[in-house]
Structure 1
Amino acid sequence: MNGLTLVLILLVGGLGLLVFNHDTGQTFGMANDDFAHLIYLLPIAAVLSAGILAGRRGPAGEVLRNIVIWLMIITVLVAGYLYRDDFSRFAARMTAGLMPGSAVVMTTSEGGQEVILHRRLGGHFQARVEVDGTTIQMLVDTGASAVVLSAEDAERLGLKPETLTYSVRVQTANGEAYAAPVRLSRVAIGPIERENIRALVAEEGRLTESLLGMTFLSTLGSLQIQTDELKLRD
């Protein structure tokens, strides 16, 4: 029996045990997640072992060099596994820097999902929000009682600002103004989505950027700011 066959048997056997012990949550006294990680590492260990064994042939200097190389590879793999969460956060920050407002979806320690937004240079949190199939850049504003669309974004959604009734009095940075009430069929940030959201359309020239307000934010499970990160949970 060659090494590849043995590894395949161990993998199939390990997966079978995980399926069989799914309801109990443990395999051989280990949590199923930990046992799954062990099974996952088997092919890597086999490849590394084969490389080390192959490196034993030849002059002593070449053998030593091969062993050092494989030890470095092992160190990198272990470090990558131990610091995987830090690498994920680094990648998230890179994504946010290249695409401001992009929602980064992370897995929490409880196994749930949360959407992370990074503070932009102006000090605000910006989100790429999908509204009725159209992506709109919005400022996250807990001080806004509702989702508020600029006249330009309303037009992009197929609304005609000139036909709306501006009957709601609102207070803006430019003073008092009026807005038109509308309903949005779907509003989503990453995997978090809501239907039939109450919103307002600002008068033309009153708002330069749409606001993601409390008619959406108040439906979330939690909203938490940590330094330069805004974390949203469904």
Structure 2
Amino acid sequence: MRLYILFGILGAGLVLLILNHDGGRTLGIDNNDFGRLVTLSAIGTMMGAGILASRRQWGESLRQAAIWLLIILALATGYLYRFDLQQVGNRLTAGLIPGRAVVTTGANGEQILVINKGVSGHFEADVSIDGAPLRMMVDTGASSIVLTYDDAMRLGINPDNLVFSIEVSTANGRAMAAPVTLRQVAIGPIMRGTIRGMVTQPGQLDQSLLGMSFLETLGSIEITRDELRLKD
């Protein structure tokens, strides 16, 4: 009987919605709101029928009703705060996986790329250069993107075209580097094209650097404690 009642409510509501589709309103109610009303009425009918069917066990019925109420409230809360929960998940991912750049939303609604400091004490991130992934250190002290010789070979840069004519300062001392032009550099959703870079001689640099030739194209760079925050 309860199943017939449920189908009857849903069927009647569907028929009314179909008949009043062009008008946009059913029984004076917006069609979207009327659809929600029909759904809630069906759920309420089922719950009420269940309570009446077990009227000899009011304690058990109230307990079941309370459980369903908590479930509904939890689902409603999750839906209302879904974007906040997504940001919490992103921040947790960034904290647990150093170098994983995640996107959060600032107070003004702007998107912010957050990178957590790694165990080395530096900000490292997974960067895509010309479609190839590289783990790079974000270095505001580097004037441009600086690639190790091995990373440059991994990107497919022709070593015969490298002219080591620029003197640079690295953690290992002075070194010579060759200028290159990178077709595309991307970190998370932030993407830039035609970025200048350099390639150091073999063995002169331990890790590639994401320098100012890319960072200066951003809206802002902010370091707060153990976080590096980049705005496009």
Q: Same fold (TM over 0.5)?
A: yes
Unaligned runs of 5+ in 1: 18-35
Q: Which residue does the alignment assign to 1:71?
A: 69
1:141 equivalenced with 2:136 (yes/no): no
Tell me, in whole angstroms, the C-alpha distance in 2 between the residues paired with 1:108 and 1:83.
16
What is the CA deviation profile of residues 177-199 of structure 1, one whole-angstrom value per residue up to 9, with x for unaligned ones? 11111000000112211111000
Pick closer, same or farther for the CA change 1:127–1:73 going to 2, 3 Å. same
Say whether 1:209 aligns with 2:207: yes
CA shift, 1:111, in A, is 4.1
- Whether 1:179 and 2:186 are equivalent positions in the alignment is no
Distance 1:72 1:186, change over 3 A: same
After superposing the two structures, state which structure 1 stretch, 55-64 or 197-206, moved more: 55-64
Task: List aligned pairs for 1:114-153, cutoff 5 A.
Answer: 114-153=112-151
List aligned pairs for 1:3-152, cutoff 5 A: 3=10, 6=13, 9=17, 49=44, 52-57=47-52, 58=54, 59-81=57-79, 83-96=81-94, 99-152=97-150
Shift of 1:46: 6.3
Query: How does the TM-score come out when normalised to structure 1?
Result: 0.75
Moved more, 205-214 or 49-58: 49-58
Tell me whether 68-77 or 124-133 shows the greater mean CA deviation: 68-77
Larger deviation: 75-84 or 114-123?
75-84
Distance in 2 between residues matched to 1:44 and 1:184, nearest whole Å: 56
What is the rounded CA distance, in whole Å, between the counterparts of 1:54 and 1:162 in structure 2? Answer: 81
Shift of 1:3: 4.3
Tell me the matched-pair count: 213
Between Structure 1 and Structure 2, whose CA radius of gyration is higher? 2
Distance 1:6 1:133, change over 3 A: same
> Normalized against structure 2, the TM-score is what?
0.75
CA contact (8 A) 2:10 2:39 kept: no
Report the Cα offset of residue 67 of structure 1: 1.4
> More displaced, 223-232 or 181-190?
223-232
Deviation at 1:47, TM superposition (A): 7.7
- Taking the aligned partners of 2:228 and 2:13, their CA distance within structure 1 comes to 48
Aligned-partner residue type, residue 139 of structure 2: D
Alignment root-mean-square deviation, CA? 3.5
For 2:227, the aligned partner's letter is: E
- CA distance in structure 1 between the partners assigned to 2:190 and 2:163 by the alignment: 30
Q: Identify the match of residue 153 of structure 2 among 152, 155, 158.
A: 155
Secondary structure of the corresponding residue to residue 133 of structure 2: strand
Rounded to whole Å, the distance in 1 between the matches of 2:123 and 2:185 is: 17
1:116 alignment partner, SS class: strand
Please say which of residues 90-99 and 53-62 is displaced more in the overlay: 90-99
**Contact 2:127–2:135 at 8 Å: present in 1 too?**
yes
